[in-house]
């Protein structure tokens, strides 16, 4: 969840590190720091707060040097303050370390290192790494790091520099992403490609337990046994502009606007000339397909809500029993997963620790593992048997929008593909859905272009203490995402509750003026949903209904109606969610919140 960048070459490293960290700030932003080697010493500058604090300092106090590491932090161990900010050093201050992840056995290591005379200054787990390297250092930094990582349990991506090896920048990873950027007379490390994309498009992805030793003109990579590894160079094809704001005030708004394109990009390449879905990436033999007796979908947060829609679609189109599990809970119930299970892990980043752990558990039990992810080369994509990439482009805002919409689309497509292969959906019905999927980008554009109604609503309703979201069937699945979106960026308490469940407890919280979003897009469930709306209205709720265009009946019962363009009932989440994203965005703006970097959150959650 933190960001790492490192450089060795001839350029002034401090501004280069800060510039790289700016591209990673969304990963963590409670403190930032750099370590720079120059003329026989390592200078450390690190501050609590946003990266701008460090940047302002460096404007006035220049630090020279062409070897350095930088870090932007999302605190796990130890409160966010100057001391706990990375980089961390050994007592002599001649070894500096930046780290992403968690060293799970750090308490044990710390006690032992203290007994060996090391003095700890911080509350972090990372500091043990610097002391461990120091402990093992016998004139060979590489060997010292190798010995140190053997003692470390948990997840880590680390970057190390030392005063005694000023010609080296060393990186190691396990269960936390790290790339090596290949330059000309200079080389880089980074936890994410955008940090170095300005300088190079050629990268190596480090695998678990691999160590990279970088000098100005050379990169060597070794496995955990110390054997040299030949790696393939990965050419980055997307542009940095794709990861920048492009005129929008916030990444989130930019990414909401990119949804029509994301839908097109994810859908079109997978339709053949006969307008049929062709998922070349999912290689399931006829026998494997026939064997599947269950689909288990696992994910966290927003991705899990895409999974809820997916569960619905799989059962409807493919008629296979499907379940959705929260990744962080999956392992604790000794799940029934075997070689007849199709296991689907959904993760925008492809790095979420709980989702990865669940995937490994399912794999170890023999399941066929399919990943839906947005990041090529991510850990989850590499460990799955098959990968469906959502072509949404880099998603920077912490609040997921375009990734979510393409995750739902991926689930619809997989469900239709399975359904066609199993013969549980007719060609005609499938065609009708595909035709409608093709119209969704245009309909999404229509919503986004006409967002003034939702903006006006947000301007009136931004001061609520608590907001409820409700619906039935597939509306209930997407209501949960609407609620999460609001709370994560506006800090308003919110809850999503299945409409029929309201009266079993939660209705006690409804009082005069309580805002309730009621999704009423399912023709078959219209009357039942209408009764639920009346129930909350009778207790004083202010009901905003989200309905399909043309459905005027609802205007008699709701206080306000937000329409989405007409579409098939099963596809309405692809449109209704956009209205809820916009509402959350405008409420957060009205409340003066930092939309792209909500407090306490990070884009990629690589700790369990």
Catalytic residues: 2, 603
CB-CB contact of 318 with 422 (8 Å):
yes
On the 0-12 / 13-18 / 19+ scale of CB atoms within 10 A, 184 is exposed
Q: Which of residues 309-368 bind ligand M6R (CB under 6 A)?
A: 347-349, 352, 355
Measured from the CB of residue 395, what is the shortest distance to ligand M6R in angstroms? Answer: 9
HSE on the CB side for 290, CA within 13 Å?
A: 3
Q: Does 165 bind ligand M6R (CB under 6 A)?
A: no
Q: Least distance from C-beta 135 to ligand M6R, angstroms?
A: 36
User: Any contact of residue 488 with ligand M6R (CB under 6 A)?
Assistant: yes
Kindly give, in sequence order, each residue whose CB lies less than 8 Å from that of residue 291, ignoring residues fewer than 6 positions away. 339, 340
Residues written for the chain: 608
**Contact (Cβ atoms closer than 8 angstroms) between residue 70 and residue 32:** yes
| CA–CA dist 295, 243 (Å, integer) | 34
Least distance (Å) between residue 448 CB and ligand M6R: 18
Residue nearest to ligand M6R (CB): 301
Q: Work out the burial of residue 248: count CB atoms within 10 Å of its CB; fewer than 13 is exposed, 13-18 middle, 19 or more buried.
A: middle
Cα gap 138→161, rounded to integer Å: 15
User: CB-wise, 355 or 494, nearer to ligand M6R?
Assistant: 355
494 binding ligand M6R? (CB under 6 A): no
Binder among 279, 303, 533, 584 for ligand M6R (CB under 6 A): 303
In the complex with ligand M6R, which residue's Cβ is closer, 349 or 514?
Answer: 349
Residue 490 touches ligand M6R, criterion: CB under 6 A: no
Smallest distance from the beta carbon of 605 to ligand M6R, in angstroms?
Answer: 5
Give the pair of three-digit tokens for residue 109: 């290591």
Q: For ligand M6R, give the closer residue by CB, 355 or 464.
A: 355
Dist. CA 287–CA 282, nearest whole Å: 14
Longest alpha-carbon distance in the chain: 80
C-beta closer to ligand M6R: residue 8 or 306: 306
**8 Å CB contact between 605 and 352:** yes
Instruction: Tell me the window of 301-309, 423-431, 531-539, 588-596 that interacts with ligand M6R (CB under 6 A).
Output: 301-309
Does 187 participate in binding ligand M6R (rule CB under 6 A)? Answer: no
Q: Which is nearer to ligand M6R, 326 or 439 (CB)?
A: 326
One residue of 302, 514, 522, 581 binding ligand M6R per CB under 6 A? 302
Site for ligand M6R in 375-414 (CB under 6 A): 398-400
Angle CA 391–394–397, to nearest 5:
125
Contacts of 16 (CB under 8 A, 6+ apart): 7, 68, 199
User: CB-wise, 106 or 343, nearer to ligand M6R?
Assistant: 343
Beta-carbon contacts of 391 under 8 Å, excluding residues fewer than 6 positions away, are: 262, 265, 266, 269, 374, 406
Hey, what are 506's tokens?
Answer: 């939660």
The whole-angstrom separation of Cα 235 and Cα 203 is: 7
E strands, 328-465, are 341-347, 368-373, 386-389
**Of positions 20, 28, 87, 301, contacts ligand M6R by CB under 6 A:** 301
Report DSSP state, residue 431.
H
| Binder among 406, 521, 522, 604 for ligand M6R (CB under 6 A) | 604
68 vs 573, beta carbon nearer ligand M6R: 573
The CB-of-335 to ligand M6R minimum distance in angstroms stands at 19
Q: Are 153 and 125 in contact (CB under 8 A)?
A: no
Cβ at position 15, least distance to ligand M6R in Å: 30
Contact mark string toward ligand M6R, 271..300, x via CB under 6 A? -----------------------------x
Please identify, using beta-carbon distances, which residue of 292 and 484 lies nearer to ligand M6R: 484
529 binds ligand M6R (CB under 6 A): no
User: Which residues contact ligand M6R (rule: CB under 6 A)?
Assistant: 300-303, 347-349, 352, 355, 398-400, 484, 488, 604-605
């Amino acid at each position: 969840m933190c960001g790492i960048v490192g450089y060795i070459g001839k350029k002034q490293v401090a501004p280069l590190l800060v510039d790289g960290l700016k591209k990673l700030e969304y990963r963590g932003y409670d403190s930032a720091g750099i370590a720079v080697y120059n003329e026989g010493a390592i200078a450390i500058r690190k501050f609590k707060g946003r990266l701008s604090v460090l940047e302002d300092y460096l404007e006035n106090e220049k630090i020279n040097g062409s070897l350095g590491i930088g870090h932007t932090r999302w605190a796990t161990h130890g409160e966010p303050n100057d001391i706990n900010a990375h980089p961390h050093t050994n007592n002599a201050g001649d070894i500096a370390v930046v780290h992403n992840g968690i060293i799970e056995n750090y308490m044990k290591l710390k006690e032992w290192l203290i007994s060996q005379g090391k003095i700890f200054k911080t509350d972090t787990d990372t500091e043990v790494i610097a002391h461990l390297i120091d402990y093992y250092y016998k004139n060979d930094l590489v060997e010292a790091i190798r010995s140190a990582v053997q003692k470390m349990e948990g997840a880590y991506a680390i970057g190390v520099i030392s005063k005694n090896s000023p010609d080296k920048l060393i990186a190691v990873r396990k269960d936390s992403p790290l790339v090596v950027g290949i330059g000309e007379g200079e080389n880089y490390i980074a936890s994410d490609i955008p940090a170095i994309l300005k300088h190079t498009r050629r990268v190596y992805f480090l695998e678990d337990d691999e160590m990279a030793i970088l000098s100005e003109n050379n990169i060597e990579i070794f496995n955990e046994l110390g054997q040299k590894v030949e790696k393939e160079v990965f050419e980055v094809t997307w542009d940095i502009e794709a990861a920048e704001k492009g005129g929008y005030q916030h990444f989130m708004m930019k990414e909401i606007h990119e949804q029509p394109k994301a839908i097109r990009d994810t859908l079109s390449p997978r339709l053949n000339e006969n307008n049929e879905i062709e998922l070349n990436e999912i290689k399931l033999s006829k026998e494997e397909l026939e064997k599947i007796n269950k689909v288990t979908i696992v994910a966290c947060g927003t991705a899990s809500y895409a999974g809820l829609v997916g569960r619905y679609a799989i059962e409807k189109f493919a008629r296979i029993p499907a379940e959705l599990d929260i990744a962080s809970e999956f392992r604790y119930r000794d799940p029934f997963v075997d070689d007849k299970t199709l296991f689907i892990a959904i993760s925008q980043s492809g790095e979420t620790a709980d989702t990865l752990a669940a995937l490994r558990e399912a794999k170890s039990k023999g399941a066929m593992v399919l990943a839906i992810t947005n990041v090529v080369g991510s850990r989850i994509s590499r460990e799955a048997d098959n990968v469906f990439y959502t072509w949404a482009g880099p998603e920077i805002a912490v609040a997921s929008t375009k990734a979510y919409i393409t995750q739902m689309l991926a689930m619809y497509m997989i469900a239709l593909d399975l359904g066609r292969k199993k013969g549980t959906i007719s060609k005609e019905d499938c065609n009708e859905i595909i035709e409608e999927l093709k119209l969704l980008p245009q309909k999404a554009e229509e919503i986004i272009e006409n967002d003034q109604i939702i903006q006006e609503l947000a301007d009136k309703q931004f001061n609520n203490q608590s907001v409820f979201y409700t619906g039935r069937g597939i509306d209930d699945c997407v209501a949960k995402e609407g609620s999460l979106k609001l709370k994560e960026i506006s800090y308003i308490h919110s809850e999503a509750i299945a409409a029929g469940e309201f009266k079993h407890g939660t209705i006690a919280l409804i009082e005069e003026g309580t805002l309730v979003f009621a999704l009423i897009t399912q023709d078959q469930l219209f009357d039942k949903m209408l009764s639920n709306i009346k129930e909350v209205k009778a207790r004083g709720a202010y009901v905003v209904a989200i309905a399909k265009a043309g459905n005027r009946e609802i205007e008699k019962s709701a206080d306000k109606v937000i329409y989405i363009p007409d579409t098939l009932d099963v596809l309405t989440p692809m449109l209704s969610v956009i209205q809820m994203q916009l509402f959350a965005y405008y409420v957060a703006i009205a409340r003066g919140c930092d939309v792209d970097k909500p407090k306490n959150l990070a884009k990629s959650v690589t700790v369990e």
